[in-house]
Amino acid sequence: MADSTSVVKKTARSFPAPSVIPGFAPTFGLTILYLGLIVLFPLSLLVLRASELGLSGLYSVATEPRVAAALRTSFFISFAAAAIDVVFGLVVAWVLTRYEFPGRRFLDAIVDLPFALPTAVAGIALAALYAPNGWLGAPLAEYDVKIAFTRWGILIALVFVGLPFVVRTVQPLLAEIDAELEEASATLGASRAQTVWRVLLPPLLPALLTGFALAFARSVGEYGSVIFIAGNLAYISEIAPLLIIVKLEQFDYAGATGIATIMLAISFAVLLAINLIQAWSQKRFGHV
């Protein structure tokens, strides 16, 4: 009887499960067509246009002092903002998942606000809040702490726009982790720190890396919420997307294309590295 049951299971696994969407070929074809028209075709044109500059031209654009400063500002601050979002996004997701309290649904809805809020509105609100005469900027100015129109302002804006990506990526996986794992860890004598590092973080690592990648990708290309609070000073608080706009206004299309291509290459390399680490972590730690 056991042998016949195993044969039935093996036979069932050899046939694909029925799907409400008809056929692999048409759906795969539509997927390739959609990605080709919406993603690959525009990026290919960008790379093709940049190829007219050649490697030496791209290198000269990248090593231009103002461009290099803007790229460093964009990528380093985006990386720092994504790292901050990972920490606080995990805390927010933990509170929303593990605790019941008045206003929980309202707080959960607020997390999605940066998704729906126009970036320019967010930038104006943050600039008004952290300006030297703002609600938070004025008390900080008394201690000679300046947020608006500095790199700190860029960091705050990027943390604001990137936080929902981490929360919404981690929250579903965190909800699947049984609280009994924590109780078992405590029963075996583990401290709270050991429970976090050895029980909770390993299965959450792929989701945290995904949230980090999404927050980083959003931060690198962010424009609207940054220009109002950054100050936009060349070599200090000027971001690469703004410099692309400046090049276009100066009719320097080659320079704008070169900066965009450099940003594309760096972003692709960083995201590829994160995806490789994520794939390794999934093989290493598995799923919950």
> Distance between CA atoms of 176 and 156, rounded to whole angstroms?
31
Whether residue 31 lies inside any domain: the answer is: no
Whether residue 278 lies inside any domain: the answer is: yes
Question: How many structural domains are present in the chain?
Answer: 1
Whether residue 157 lies inside any domain: the answer is: yes
Q: Over the Cα atoms of the chain, what is R_g?
A: 24
> Distance between CA atoms of 68 and 268, rounded to whole angstroms?
18
Alpha-helical (H) ranges within the chain are: 2-14, 24-35, 41-51, 54-62, 65-98, 104-111, 113-116, 119-130, 137-141, 151-176, 179-187, 192-195, 201-220, 224-230, 240-249, 253-285
What's this model's pTM, rounded to 2 decimal places? 0.82
> Distance between CA atoms of 269 and 265, rounded to whole angstroms?
6
| Residue-by-residue DSSP string for 117-146 | S-HHHHHHHHHHHHSTTSTTHHHHHTTT--
Whether residue 4 lies inside any domain: the answer is: no
Residue 20 CA to its chain's centroid (Å): 32
Whether residue 39 lies inside any domain: the answer is: no
CB 93 within 8 A of CB 175: no
CA angle 186, 198, 273 (to 5 degrees): 160
What is the pLDDT, as a whole number, of residue 288?
Answer: 42
Mean pLDDT by 10 residues, the chain (288 residues): 49 54 78 86 82 84 92 94 95 91 91 88 90 90 89 94 93 83 75 78 86 91 89 88 90 89 88 82 63
Amino acid (1-letter code) at residue 61? V
Whether residue 209 lies inside any domain: the answer is: yes
Whether residue 42 lies inside any domain: the answer is: no
CATH code for the domain of 85: 1.10.3720.10
Whether residue 27 lies inside any domain: the answer is: no
**Residue matched to tokens 């943050």:** 126
- Residues spanned by the domain of 65: 55-285
What is the pLDDT, as a whole number, of residue 84?
Answer: 97
